[in-house]
Structure 1
Amino acid sequence: MVKKIFIEIPTWLGDAIMTTPAIENIIKSFPEAKITLLGSYVSTEALKNFENIEKVIIDDSKKAGSRYLNLIKLAKKVGKVDIAISFRRSFSSKLMMFFIDSKKTISYKRYTKKEIHQVLRYNDFINRKLNLKNKAGDLKLNFTPFSYKKPTLGLNPGATYGSAKRWYPEEFAKLATKLSKNYDIVLFGGPNETAIASDIEKILVKNKITNFQNIAGKTSVSELIEKIAGLDLFVTNDSGPMHIAAAFKIKTVAIFGPTKFTETNQWNNPNETIITKNLYCAPCMKRKCPLGHHDCMKLIKAEDVLKTLGEENGGKEKL
């Protein structure tokens, strides 16, 4: 009988959220097992409320001292488990997993080169390694949505991976200005994304828009999830917050440039619209545009989003 399971989740928030259908299937297959969860602070904060989680360990192995020794110490913190699972492929992860006291140890592996959604890759990995046949369900985050007083639009101009994934603040601001008649506006962003949110705020102030709030860099992970979960509309780059919105099936316009929307768009959200220009050079999967023009994002305009929303709402969001 499986009594204890260790799970290492991805460092990036979006990737961690995309493991949740697979984690749900692990819990369904071993309902009596207690889980120890390890990952970055952001990732573990997002997933810590899953049922069956007994202990959460934050990966602080990059702190002072030898990272390799720190990884071994992390492994020792886990204790004895029946199954140790990692959703990561890095050398550091493999090293840590080697030192975990587990009857069975499995590390993430991609089983096909075909373009399939990352959620399916994670779920397929679990099915194959644990001899299961579970389908991938919805993304899941165990938080209660925030209750806004009025219809609210969220804008997420950041993307932790790199500048190539970021749509332009001028276009976000133009969009917000046009939609401020129908929605209150909330600007989201992490601690390193306050500058781009501030750029949008300055334009909104210049345009005399007052029904907005800029909470970039001011929320905990829990607050970020709850406030995105309560939105009526979300416009976002390919990012962790995009996947938060997917978990709650929020109406979303997702802006894609250099990344593969076939692999990382919102999973099982029927309320998502993807906007991309499908250029010859995309998806390049680079952190910065290797050609220097960044046309995959630069050619996307606020009008493209407004047109999409106008078509869906019978022309409500017209220029």
Structure 2
Amino acid sequence: MSFATPIGRIWRLVALRRQHCLRHLVWFWRSLFPRWRREPIHIWSVASGLGDEIMVLGAAQGLVKQFPQADITLHARHINVIGGGRGAVKIVEFTEGNLPSAGIGIRYQAKHRFPIIEQMGRELGVRLLEFPILLDEKYVVEQDVEVADDRIVIVVQTSASAWTLNKQWIGENWKSLIEMLPTEWAIVEVGNESVLRSPPRHPRFRTMVGATSINEYVATIRRASLFVGPVSSGMHLAHAFQIPSVIIVGGYELGNHPYPLAHQFGTKVKCAPCWLRTPCPYDRRCLREITPKMVVEEIHKILKKGSNTASGFAMKAI
């Protein structure tokens, strides 16, 4: 059956609701009989991205903060970053095919009303009260990364992961955004790829795209005054280091990550959140409605107030 037809869309909605109901039953059972109350547990992220593993780390740390008796070991692929986790969560290197048979692979549901990191907490049988992500800064501060020693350094990540183009703000918007920022600010671009076809006309712009190790990437975000990017590992790292951020969400997913200093731009289009990996039939309208001017105004507002004035995550719906 084609999901493009009205009947197909109804069937897809029914299937999605069924998945969510089944997951809620799993979460309810795990909350009644959480394994960490009875024995040490081993966990890992089913998804392999750095951002996914950072969220699993945060969920485990939130659990241990609420229940210090919990004995949790996290198997991490990005051990050179995740291995710097602070707190009582043990961290070992992830080895495919050598995971404990009784371990828990942490996953999340698409199009769910709960934030992803909250879903991960429920996978562990707990409703998290806080969402810390604690990384040991020794893993990043020792990196020899040259970042401008200015009062204001804006770190931008123009490209999301290759998972879907429907999280990707267009390159011309990124270029306009950078060119609208004050010339006395240092602008540093990070990530594996860039959507910029030509360098922005900004005297303090510098790109480090494709030129850093993963630890240097982390270190650069750590030194930012403010981070701007899509939903990506950079957003989670900014939260971990308490760096204010402006996140261009669009409509692929909900902009409801519970990060107090993350100002998340989403759009109220009927098809959102879509979680669509195939080309958008509406030319990514949800992202095109977010203009460079809106983002620049938010950046100025945050820096004028200071990073310590934010309370609760902010979802900017336009």
Instruction: Kindly report the root-mean-square deviation, in angstroms, between the aligned alpha carbons of the 2 structures.
Output: 3.2
Q: Is structure 2 residue 186 aligned with structure 1 residue 149?
A: no
Q: Is structure 2 residue 130 aligned with structure 1 residue 136?
A: yes
Instruction: Kindly state the Cα deviation for residue 35 of structure 1 after the two structures are TM-superposed.
Output: 3.1
Between the two proteins, what is the percent identity of the paired residues? 19
* Aligned equivalents of 1:251, 1:38: Cα separation in 2: 26
Alignment of 1:1-319 (within 5 A): 5-9=41-45, 10-25=47-62, 27=64, 29=67, 35=73, 37-39=75-77, 43-51=78-86, 53=90, 55-59=92-96, 71=97, 74-75=98-99, 84-88=103-107, 115-127=113-125, 135-144=129-138, 148-150=148-150, 151-160=152-161, 161-190=163-192, 193-194=193-194, 196-197=195-196, 199=197, 202-204=198-200, 207=201, 209-263=202-256, 265=257, 267-269=258-260, 271-312=261-302
Q: Secondary structure at the match of 1:245?
A: helix
Q: Is the 2:63–2:121 contact (alpha carbons within 8 Å) kept by the matching residues of 1? A: no
TM-score in terms of structure 1 length: 0.69
Q: Is the 1:253–1:274 contact (alpha carbons within 8 Å) kept by the matching residues of 2? A: yes
* Aligned equivalents of 2:211, 2:113: Cα separation in 1: 36
* Aligned equivalents of 2:285, 2:128: Cα separation in 1: 40
Q: Is the 1:238–1:255 contact (alpha carbons within 8 Å) kept by the matching residues of 2? A: yes
Instruction: Kindly state the Cα deviation for residue 291 of structure 1 after the two structures are TM-superposed.
Output: 0.8
Instruction: Kindly state the Cα deviation for residue 222 of structure 1 after the two structures are TM-superposed.
Output: 1.5
TM-score in terms of structure 2 length: 0.69
Counterpart for residue 102 of structure 1: none
Pair 303,34 (structure 1): closer, same or farther in 2 beyond 3 Å: closer
* Aligned equivalents of 1:268, 1:221: Cα separation in 2: 22
Counterpart for residue 65 of structure 1: none
Q: Secondary structure at the match of 2:273?
A: coil
Q: Is the 1:258–1:286 contact (alpha carbons within 8 Å) kept by the matching residues of 2? A: no
The AA in structure 1 aligned to 2:154 is L
Pair 220,27 (structure 1): closer, same or farther in 2 beyond 3 Å: farther
Structure 1: gaps of 5 or more residues = 60-70, 89-108
Q: Is the 2:189–2:209 contact (alpha carbons within 8 Å) kept by the matching residues of 1? A: yes
Instruction: Kindly state the Cα deviation for residue 255 of structure 1 after the two structures are TM-superposed.
Output: 0.6
| Offset from partner CA, 1:250-287 (integer Å, 9 cap, x none) | 12111112322345x3x332x22222232222221112
Pair 143,212 (structure 1): closer, same or farther in 2 beyond 3 Å: same
Q: Is the 1:17–1:140 contact (alpha carbons within 8 Å) kept by the matching residues of 2? A: no
* Aligned equivalents of 1:19, 1:255: Cα separation in 2: 22
Counterpart for residue 94 of structure 1: none
Q: Secondary structure at the match of 2:227?
A: strand
The AA in structure 2 aligned to 1:35 is T
Structure 2: gaps of 5 or more residues = 1-36, 142-146, 306-318
Q: Secondary structure at the match of 2:60?
A: helix
Q: Is the 2:75–2:93 contact (alpha carbons within 8 Å) kept by the matching residues of 1? A: yes
* Aligned equivalents of 1:309, 1:26: Cα separation in 2: 33
Q: State the number of aligned residues.
A: 257
Instruction: Kindly state the Cα deviation for residue 229 of structure 1 after the two structures are TM-superposed.
Output: 1.6
Q: Is the 1:159–1:237 contact (alpha carbons within 8 Å) kept by the matching residues of 2? A: yes
